[in-house]
A and B are shown apart, each in its own frame.
Chain A
Amino acid sequence: MRDVAVVSYAQSPAQRDTGGTTDVEMLVPVIDRALADAQLTRKEIDFICSGSCDYLAGGAFSFVMAVDALGATPSAQESHVEMDAAWALYEAWLKFQCGEIDVALIYGFGKSAPGDLPDVLSLQLDPYYTQPLWPDSISLAAIQAQMALAKGCFTERDMAEVVAASRRNAIHNPAAQLKGEFDASDLLKEETFVSPLRKHDCCPITDGCSVLILASAEKARALCERPAWLRGINHRMESHFLGTRDLTTSTSTMKAAGTLKLDGDKLDVAELYAPFSHQQLILQQSLKLTDNTRVNPSGGALAGHVLMAAGLDRFGAAAREIWSGRADRALAHATSGPCLQQNMLAILEGA
């Protein structure tokens, strides 16, 4: 396996609503920052790959306009996935393994404010039996939470503790949307929203974008003092219907962890893409994380959730932990689909 490292990462400040700012206007300063931090120019990038979803802002071909941010003239090697940008990173990582590139720029972007996100995400569901009823993304997650609670996997207090920790950690993350000192007991006093979920159990809706730069071994050492080396990356899909899989655990996460021979006890940090508090607990249990691991030092998706970039953000946040020396070994996780249907894991190391 060819050594590849995360050498730069920038994100837009998490905002509920960026108003009229277009995707491409949002992207340009963030790309500029990611490049500047690595002392690179646009022309030094071998490959660009992005993740986005047309339905968020309601126009076909969102990624086509985004190409305008790249200065891709006369032409650039570029690709796009209609998935979270973590999968764009995966596509780039494969290209590194093919020996075709040395520097790749990955970006994800999404403006969810123009639409009604929980309804938009309903269109991910099977279009015959399920979507016509318009079950929203929050309701589906709430069913998952109810089933896990009923099974005794964790308690509502555990969920509130996840939220309190997320907001506490986010105090140190300038790009976080929700942050502050909260007490789990106080959070539990709030009324339920889509029961058993309370509003704070759900990620916020965020407009924004993120940019991450990967580099091959020699380049990485030149561009970054302490590169965050990608030591393994794997992703898995589950079946789609809520009734055909066990919602209280994450079998695809376990399968990916098994392939990576991941030891949940030996991680300094885990950045988990959990849009709902209980999903973080399901992931922690599936990964067999222990108290040795700091979970979501960035605050995670509960502190800011740019759909289509939130998975890539976990790679960026994990890399920051490595760069700073706060961690030697970190896990980045990304998810896609309703109720954690598809999951990706990657191990990042400082040495």
Chain B
Amino acid sequence: MKLPEPREAVDRPIYLRYRYRASEQANRFLHAIKKGKILGVRSVGTGKVLVPPPGVCAESGTLTPQDLIELPDRGTVLSFTIVHLPIPNSRLKPPFVVANILLDGADQAFSHIISETDLKRVLIGTRVRAHWKPEAEWDYGLENIEYFVLTDEPAVDIEQHRALRLEEAARHA
């Protein structure tokens, strides 16, 4: 019997459709960001402020309350990286800064972009504020903030800031 030359590989398209529904907290957050407001939540387990508001505080394993807190669109860089690779489906051209940004009044940072011509100016502790897209373009997403920009404020000592925040959390816990 003559055997054919084995085929080496085949393509296997595997595509599945899913329906995503926003959780209650995500829904509140997304509706607010559509109007240009950033919401967070104070954990009943720890007294710390989480943003975007999760349904559960991971530190204590407790459900978060329904009352959300509005937060300012200013904050501090907790850490960052300068990305030299493109983000798939993004109009951002590398290099750009992806930073963990801690909003004033919050205890948990989230990841966002910093646009700055001189990337070397971005440091841990650097102060930033949101640069929003034009209001007409606002949608249900954190991308309504197009990027963060540096402010003229002096850099923050992270350790000091952390100690102050933990004191405040203790008062609320």
Pick 30 A–B contacts, CB within 8 A, sort by A. A20-B21, A20-B22, A20-B24, A20-B26, A20-B27, A22-B55, A24-B54, A24-B55, A24-B56, A25-B23, A25-B55, A28-B62, A28-B63, A29-B63, A57-B18, A68-B56, A70-B61, A71-B61, A72-B61, A73-B59, A113-B19, A114-B18, A114-B21, A115-B18, A116-B16, A116-B17, A119-B16, A120-B16, A127-B12, A131-B12
**How many A-B pairs fall under 8 Å by CB?**
67
Q: Which residues in A have some Cβ–Cβ distance to B below 8 Å?
A: 19-22, 24-25, 28-29, 31, 42, 55, 57-58, 67-73, 113-116, 119-120, 123, 127, 131-132
* Residues of B close to A70: CB separation below 8 A: 61
Interface string of B16-54 (1 = CB under 8 A from A): 111111111011000000000000000001000000001
State the Cβ distance, B11 to closest chain A Cβ, in Å.
Answer: 10
**Contact: B21 with A69, CB < 8 Å?**
no
- Asked if B58 is at the interface (CB within 8 A of a chain A CB), the reply is yes
State the Cβ distance, A43 to closest chain B Cβ, in Å.
Answer: 10
Is chain A's binding surface mostly helix, strand, loop or mixed? helix
**Contact: B16 with A28, CB < 8 Å?**
no
Q: Which residues in B have some Cβ–Cβ distance to A below 8 Å?
A: 12, 14, 16-24, 26-27, 45, 54-63
* Residues of B close to A24: CB separation below 8 A: 54-56
* Residues of A close to B24: CB separation below 8 A: 20-21
Q: Which residue of A lies closest to B54 (CB)?
A: A68
CA distance A25 to B60 in the complex (A): 13
CA distance A132 to B27 in the complex (A): 37
Known contacts A58-B18, A120-B16, A28 near B61 by CB under 8 Å: yes
Additional 13 contacts, C-beta under 8 A, given A24-B54, A57-B18: A19-B21, A22-B56, A24-B55, A24-B56, A25-B63, A69-B56, A71-B60, A114-B20, A115-B17, A115-B19, A116-B16, A127-B12, A131-B12
* Residues of A close to B57: CB separation below 8 A: 68
Give the residue of A21, A29, A119 whose beta carbon is less than 8 angstroms from that of B23.
A21
Most buried by A among B16, B26, B54: B16
State the Cβ distance, B155 to closest chain A Cβ, in Å.
Answer: 29
State the Cβ distance, B69 to closest chain A Cβ, in Å.
Answer: 19
